[in-house]
Amino acid sequence: MIDELDLETILGELGDFKRYQIYVFLYLAVTIIVSAVYNCQYVFAAGQVDYRCRVPVCESTPEKFETNGWGKFALPAPGPLGSECFRHRVVGKTCDAASFTNDTEACYSWVYENHDTIVAEFDMACEEWRRTLVGTVHGAGVFAAMPATAFVSDM
């Protein structure tokens, strides 16, 4: 039984930090970095994308995110959270100021600035809960897989 621990004696038995310890350190660092990238990729995959309401009477073919002036009378002014989820009610069949009222209605389709994330891919505009659900399901899946992964790694 050891009454007192002597760090110098323990380090002497382990040996100096040489090539083998450097290899082990580097292998561990690579696995930790890869794991961190995998768990952080959600930030990029589900990043916020600018979008606006689709206004069928004013859209060009192909649709463009820029409104070229008609957005002033067809879409509400940017401001309160969720204003991009509404458009002015259409009463005419042309794209001019007289064809829109000041009343707003909810949008059911959107035009995205780009299609680089799952927000545009799965049409998640104005549904922030769906975007965060992706991260929640990923985290729950990683948590549920840990016991199986630990069992396999122990084998």
| Per-residue pLDDT tens digits for 108-148 | 889 999 888 888 889 888 888 888 898 888 889 889 998 99
| pLDDT (0 to 100) of residue 48 | 84
Residue type, 107: C
pTM of the model: 0.67
Beta-sheet pairing, 86-90 with 51-53:
unpaired
Interatomic CA distance for residues 90 and 74, integer angstroms: 8
Residues 67 and 108: beta-carbon distance below 8 Å: no
For the chain, how far is it from start to end, CA to CA, in angstroms? 33
Asked if the model's pLDDT at residue 27 lies above 90, the reply is: yes
pLDDT tens for 68-100 read 888 888 888 776 656 788 888 988 888 888 888
Contact 87, 102 (CB under 8 A): no
- Domain borders along the chain are 51-129
Asked if residues 46 and 131 have their Cβ atoms less than 8 Å apart, the reply is yes
Contact 119, 132 (CB under 8 A): no
Instruction: Determine the Cα–Cα distance for residues 4 and 79; give it in Å rounded to an integer.
Output: 68
In this predicted structure, what is the pLDDT of residue 2?
Answer: 58
> In the chain, what percentage of residues exceed pLDDT 90?
10
Q: What's the average model confidence in pLDDT over 25-50?
A: 87
